[in-house]
Structure 1
Amino acid sequence: MVLMSNFADLVSLRVEHSGPVAEVTLLGPSKGNAMGPDFWRELPLVFRELDEDPQVRAVVLTGSGRNFSYGLDLPAMTGSWGPLLSGDSLAAPRTGFLKEIRKLQDSVTALAECRKPVIAAVSGWCIGGGVDVIAAADVRLASADAKFSVREAKVAIVADLGSLQRLAGIIGEGHLRELALTGKDIDAARAERIGLVNDVYSDQEAVLAAARELAGEIAANPPLVVQGVKDVLALNSRQRVEDGLRYVSAWNAAFLPSKDLGEAVQAFVERRKPEFKGE
């Protein structure tokens, strides 16, 4: 693997290449590759650049360390929510929050719209925003220790970055509703049974090797045909996903501010179980 020089200044991601396959690795810098401002800024830059690079024919996406991602870095990301959490429900802060949600949605959509197929190799925890990101990939593989959670309901948030829109076509409505309404964790074996991942491998090294092999197999095919297949398949869900993202962003801008959300953030900081009151 060779570091791609045009991505040398990245903070939260590392981009390398081996022949026609690029490899994007989540770096954090927060614990468990939690997704802070740098990640959301860099993700669309990276995937739009890879989309335009004629030398890249497929992409492997993985996490550094033991985990794929703990998801949204709540302490780092909630600064812009301050006026809402403090009870300021006027139009200006809500409009700003709507803009912020759509900016994060666009970051994930840049991955989904990359014309080069993306294979996610998941080890350890993949929570919340991590699931949003892998749902935008074309193929998902996991190691036996992988665990997945659409965790947002447990922190008083309606998931708004793509899981609720993209996972229905991957795992079906029934499984999606169970995961999203409970916020429960599932292991790699369950993820394979419901179709969230295609295959499960013994460990992190094995799943990464399998993802690289699959990416190489895809990259050996005619690149314009591969891109055409991806574009045609996207037609099945593109409009539904776009409509769903716009709806949930407007819903959250209107209804997300709550005492329960403030309690979730405070409990996270204090490392305790939150007490929700429906307020």
Structure 2
Amino acid sequence: MTDWKAFTVETKDHVAQVTLTGPGKGNSMGPDFWAELPEIFTALDADPEVRAVVLAGSGKHFSFGLDLQAMAPLFGPLMADKALAAPRTTFHDEVKRLQASVTAVADCRKPVIAAIQGWCIGGGVDLIAAVDVRYASADAKFSIREAKVAIVADIGSLHRLPPIIGEGHLRELAFTGKDIDAARAEKIGLVNDVFPDAEATLAAAHATAAEIAANPPLVVQGVKDVLGRERSATVTDGLRYVAAWNAAFLPSEDLTEAIQSVFEKRAPEFKGR
């Protein structure tokens, strides 16, 4: 498991470290990320030598989220004038594929601990919502930013975060698209603990992973299975609904404006059309 384009994977003492490496700026999530993530976590799930997983980001940031430029072909056919059933069906299938990539993390029977530093935006929050334990460095910042780019978040944060941070906090973050720092993230329960820097955060994640790995592996997997039982049906239903919703309603002048403003590095002007 060494020839990945968007990740590195290393295993030692029953703990695997999966590290986001890009290739986009800020470990942004392009085609390689979405293709490789489920392969990696399916393999880790099946590996009897792995008992816990640490998920980290390389460089100064965890992830800037979806790589809009690299993933632009996903939106192009849907934004065409009078997009009919075929492009909407294709888009719907693609959304379900991206959802399945992150769900592979949630479904991994080995507990996953995220070590987060710097920015964790959009798809990055979708990803950490799918893990079991979240640690952050003091410089970490979080944003469910999809609303600011005229998109309903559809990869899992809206469905996995309610039992983690509560409905009120989730609605505030999702409606506004605001940024929050590590201290606020800890206060609302988005992260378990905050550490001085990225190095200390990663060390803490590995310490917890080692504690987990020292326990009977099948019992740990059973605990994760039991804890996830009630939530899994709700999440599955919610992901199905939002995929259909976005296939029907995502195309808009506001989405075009949002994408153009990103490329042109200016503030968008939304008109509700």
Write out per-residue CA displacement over residues 191-247 of structure 1, whole angstroms, 9 at most, x where no aligned residue: 000000000000000000000000000000000000000000001201000000000
Q: CA deviation at 1:83?
A: 1.8
Give the corresponding residue for 1:246. Answer: 240
**Aligned pair partner of 1:267 in 255, 258, 261:** 261
Give the corresponding residue for 1:4. Answer: none
**Aligned pair partner of 2:15 in 21, 44, 52:** 21
Q: Are 2:39 and 1:45 aligned?
A: yes
- Indicate conservation of the 8 Å contact 1:260/1:276, yes or no: yes
Write out per-residue CA displacement over residues 72-127 of structure 1, whole angstroms, 9 at most, x where no aligned residue: 00011121321222323200000000000000000000000000000000000000
Q: Root-mean-square deviation (CA), in Å?
A: 0.6
Give the corresponding residue for 1:75. Answer: 69
In 1, the alpha carbon distance for the partners of 2:187 and 2:110 equals 27
In 2, the alpha carbon distance for the partners of 1:224 and 1:275 equals 53
Q: Are 2:121 and 1:127 aligned?
A: yes
Say how many residue pairs are matched.
273
In 2, the alpha carbon distance for the partners of 1:212 and 1:178 equals 32
Could you list the structure 1 runs, at least 4 aligned residues long, displaced by more than 3 angstroms after superposition: none
Q: Are 2:162 and 1:153 aligned?
A: no
- Indicate conservation of the 8 Å contact 1:87/1:257, yes or no: no
In 1, the alpha carbon distance for the partners of 2:25 and 2:247 equals 28
Which blocks of at least 5 consecutive residues in structure 2 are unaligned?
none
TM-score, structure 2 as length reference? 0.99
Q: CA deviation at 1:21?
A: 0.2
Give the corresponding residue for 1:98. Answer: 92
**What one-letter code is carried by the residue in structure 2 that aligns with 1:229?**
V
In 2, the alpha carbon distance for the partners of 1:80 and 1:218 equals 39
**Aligned pair partner of 1:84 in 69, 78, 95:** 78
Q: Map 1:194-273; keep pairs closer than 5 Å.
A: 194-273=188-267
Which blocks of at least 5 consecutive residues in structure 1 are unaligned?
1-6
**Aligned pair partner of 1:8 in 2, 10, 19:** 2
TM-score, structure 1 as length reference? 0.97
